[in-house]
Structure 1
Amino acid sequence: MSGIALLLYFQGKYSDAKGTFVASLIAFFVGAASIIYNIEHWSLIKRSGVHFIIMLITIYPILLLSGWFTITSVFDAVKIFILFAFVGIILWSLFFILARIFSW
């Protein structure tokens, strides 16, 4: 995706390039952090908590700096955090259900 962002940048499509690059960063960090779920001797709660902290340290600042949201106050950053947490809970729940369905 970073390569696509670079091509878009050289074509003069700066806004598309930035959005694609931001999406590639998010995909990279989510993918890299998913390895945490392979640590079998940790409980699911510990793995989920560590994953959330890593997402909070990486993805949340990317969202704040992405330009995808208007941030004029701390309240705006809190609203983005709530959206970040809500989407995280939905995705975690979805993948938990899918893992249970397909693990037998």
Structure 2
Amino acid sequence: MRGITITYKYSGEEDAWQAAMNDFIDAINNDPAAVGKFNYQVAVADDKETRFHWGRWDSAETLAHVQSQGYFKTFAGKVSEFAGGTPSATGHDISLKSNGW
């Protein structure tokens, strides 16, 4: 399993940020080729500006599928806007035992 952690600072309109996150996660949950294979979570740090995104997927094919969808391209553009450029992104293998998503 692979994953990515994305971080950036955002202090703009909270409703716009929440709407973009919800739209993306809803799109994943409504995509039959991604549901159960691609998971995405977001969080706001205690400083109310630092944003964390965690994505996990089961295969390169699933990632390629999600990245080829219009909803992903829209979301990636929004994240760049929120981050004021390119956010920090770190890919990683998930090899430790977990209790699920």
> Between Structure 1 and Structure 2, whose CA radius of gyration is higher?
1
Query: More helix by proportion, 1 or 2?
Result: 1
**Larger RCO (alpha carbons 8 Å, 6+ apart):** 2
Query: More strand by proportion, 1 or 2?
Result: 2
Instruction: Give TM-score scaled by structure 1 length.
Output: 0.34
Instruction: Give TM-score scaled by structure 2 length.
Output: 0.35
